[in-house]
Amino acid sequence: MKIEFMNERLPIRKGTGVVYRGGFGSHERTVANVIAVEQTLNPSDKYGHEVDEVLHLRDNYVLTLDDGHWCYSHQVDGVVVTDCNS
């Protein structure tokens, strides 16, 4: 498993693995898969409109995750990418 922290142009969509920090960003990093993406107007809006993907880590969004949690965009530290060569 490879985790991308620097590339802010990786899309996040259903099924994408993300590294996030719960507790509004204060907890340890956790890996989970995205089950829904909602684009929001402001960084701390809890509700937005459901979209297929967001194109930048720095966009404003809320993710629903397969571990039973949700997170704001500022809690996402990176995207898990599959590297077939490792």
| Structural domain contains residue 50 | yes
CA 34 to CA 71: how far, in whole Å?
10
| Predicted confidence (pLDDT) per residue in 7-50, tens digit | 566 789 999 999 999 988 789 999 999 999 999 999 889 999 99
Range of the domain at 49: 2-81
- The count of structural domains within the chain is 1
Q: Distance between CA atoms of 67 and 65, rounded to whole angstroms? A: 5
Residue 53 covered by a domain: yes
Model confidence pLDDT, tens digit, residues 56-74: 888 999 999 999 999 999 9
Any domain includes 45:
yes
**59 within domain boundaries:** yes
**Max CA distance (Å), the chain:** 39
Q: Is 7 within a domain?
A: yes
Within a domain: residue 86?
no
| Inside any domain, residue 75 | yes
Calpha distance 59→74 (Å, rounded): 9
Alpha-carbon distance of 6 to 77, in angstroms, equals 9
pLDDT confidence of residue 85:
53
Helix and strand numbers, DSSP H then E, in the chain? 1, 9
| pLDDT at residue 86 in the model | 47
